[in-house]
Homo-oligomer: A and B are copies of this chain.
């Protein structure tokens, strides 16, 4: 059985928990508190030198890091990943976009404004950049979603899950989605998918053990 090292309030971890749940893949959850330095211990760094969650243990001494790589690993050859080669590339294209254009901005704003709530490390110029670049990424998503219901292959895939992770909590870190109606409709559409769980959902499988 897989072991997922995850922090409940992390958007990147939520993506993996959502996909594992929707694919009905048994897994053990280990809650890691980034804010308490639990990804910086020698034990954790031995598992993942980058010091990040989520981290999936797939075999003894075999770990996969990076939410997108984990999503790809668990969803290959499942309904959440397209069979067609170009559709698969389109799925990955949006997952990469999420990691270089959305997550660094929305994720950073969420971390500092919602989780840490400011602090001396938060500099105003950084926040301005995150807002500007985050809105730019949301604009790319809005233009895409005015013509399509989902991001890749015209159906719900791990690309939607990847992009949902931080977009659905953007309002908690001061992003105003009023001007992004197609994104808002898509957020509702994703929340209506079968076996959807919210980010603060209790870990059913772990609790049942």
- Does B104 lie within 8 Å of A89, measured CB to CB? no
Q: Does A93 contact B (CB under 8 A)?
A: yes
Query: Residue-by-residue, is A30-62 near B (CB-CB < 8 Å gives 1, otherwise 0)?
Result: 000000000000000000011000000011001
Q: Does A65 contact B (CB under 8 A)?
A: yes
- Helix, strand, loop or mixed for chain A's interface? helix
| Identical copies in the complex | 2
A73 CB contacts on chain B under 8 angstroms = 85-86, 88-89, 92
Count residues of A near B (Cβ-Cβ below 8 Å). Answer: 32
Q: How far is the CA of A10 from the CA of B76 in the complex (A)?
A: 31
A interface residues (Cβ-Cβ under 8 A, vs B): 49-50, 58-59, 62, 64-66, 68-70, 72-73, 76, 85-86, 88-90, 92-93, 95-97, 99-100, 103-104, 125, 140, 143-144
- List 7 extra interface pairs beyond A64-B89, A76-B85, CB under 8 A: A49-B140, A62-B86, A68-B92, A68-B96, A72-B92, A73-B86, A96-B96
